[in-house]
Homo-oligomer: A and B are copies of this chain.
Amino acid sequence: MLETSLPLQNIRPSYIREILSAAKSPNMISLAGGLPATELIPMHLFSKAMLSISECSDLFQYGETRGYEPLINEAHKHYAISNNISSMITNGSQQGLDLIARAFLNPGDNVALEAPSYLGALQVLGLSQARIHSVQQTNSGPDIHDLEALFSSQKIKFFYAVPDFHNPTGVCWSLTTRQQVAALCHRYGVTLIEDAPYRELRFSGEPLPLVSSFCEDRAIVLRSFSKIAAPGIRLGMISAPQNVLASMIKVKQASDLHTAIPMQAILMKVLKDPEFTQHIDNVRTAYQTRYQALKQFLSRLHTYGCQISNIEGGMFVWLQLPKIDPLTLAESLLKQGVAVVPSNVFYHSDKNTPPALRLNFTHAKPDKLEAAVAKIERCLQQVI
């Protein structure tokens, strides 16, 4: 029997993998994954794009590690990225994070995250054997005093953050917090990893600048095309000052040479399509409708001591529970045909994790959301 590597031995078994696997069974209502609505994937745009490359054999030949240049250029235009910043196309933004870890982290290096945290980040940092430090999240972003206390007491290499519509909580950082975090990164020589997969999914309130816009030379930005185009194409983009990107390009070359070029060319055509703006508007409107519906259904759970905070975009609401074990609740719900994710999986340490459920509202339609909430209510009645 082959013995696994030490980093892999450090990865704890993922309960969420079981939930997500169960969530796929046909009669399950899933609020568990971070899945976009399948029926809103712009197949008419993908279809046109595929047709347009059907004679381009050059796109099926080996390509550049950094990615398909016309896509990078189109994305720089779309996101108005400054000329000081270079980008590489990755297999989803998850690979971007993995490349950062492999290019820059040694075992024992200190990395900070907000708690609760994106599960995929916990996995990658686990593989890199980094020391993870958590800073409590407030309604406007990380607790700034705790963050400064941490930065000043330890040599922190990276601060990983999801400032726009955080996964799992949906929190969007305030402008003040954005400026304060950027200032702290400058002061203490911490590199910010700004993960922005949900940024375009704002359906109310005013857009705020990227945190990295206040510390461009100290930041790496991860973008995803999963939420605005489609997740199955596995395309994301990582942006950083050129010398920082260069190290990650080396790792990418050794790890898979480059990302599929036809897929990149297809996405480029989709982004360039005059109908693409309308498509994103449709997605935002649909998600807002689903969020409003879920919020209304959830209001009946107030009697049980449950509450949610308002959100302005993204894919998740964070249902804070009374003092019950969220894992037990999630397991009961799974037996009832509803998949949700309990709060404990989003914490690096199991100690003092507040009871909550992460609920996705973008994949299921309102009637399913209503049925799911009815089941949550029934389960709550049994345990309280």
A-side interface residues toward B, CB under 8 Å? 1-8, 11, 17, 33, 35-36, 38-39, 41, 43, 46-47, 50-51, 53-63, 90-92, 94-95, 98, 102-106, 120, 123-124, 126-127, 157, 191, 226, 230-235, 243-244, 247, 250-251, 253-263, 266
Contact = CB atoms under 8 A, between A and B. Distances in A.
B47 A232 contact: no
A321 B226 CA distance: 51
A257 B94 contact: yes
Given A5-B105, A38-B57, A124-B254, A262 B247 contact: no
Contact of A47 (B7, B54, B157): B54
Given A60-B232, A61-B231, 8 more contacts: A4-B247, A5-B102, A17-B253, A35-B61, A39-B57, A41-B57, A91-B91, A120-B257
B104 A127 contact: no
Contact of A120 (B61, B126, B234, B254): B254
A109 B157 CA distance: 28
B106 A5 contact: yes
Contact of A50 (B54, B90, B259, B261): B54
A157 B90 CA distance: 31
B260 A260 contact: yes
- Most chain B beta-carbon contacts within 10 A, residue among A51, A58, A59, A61: A61
A60 B124 CA distance: 24
Contacts of A251: 8, 127
Q: Looking at chain A's contact residues, is the secondary structure mostly helix, strand, loop, or mixed?
A: helix
Given A91-B259, A234-B258, A250-B11, A60 B46 contact: yes
B47 A55 contact: yes
A71 B309 CA distance: 43
A320 B251 CA distance: 32
A92 B127 contact: no
Nearest to A231: B62
A94 B234 CA distance: 17
Contact of A263 (B36, B51, B105, B263): B263
Contacts of A235: 260
Contacts of A1: 243
Contacts of A226: 62
A166 to B, nearest CB: 19
Given A46-B54, A54-B43, A94-B257, A233 B262 contact: yes
A21 to B, nearest CB: 9
A124 to B, nearest CB: 5
Contacts of A232: 59-63, 260-262
A103 B127 CA distance: 10
Contacts of A259: 91, 234
Nearest to A264: B232
Contacts of A103: 4-5, 8
Contacts of A254: 11, 94, 98, 120, 123-124, 126-127
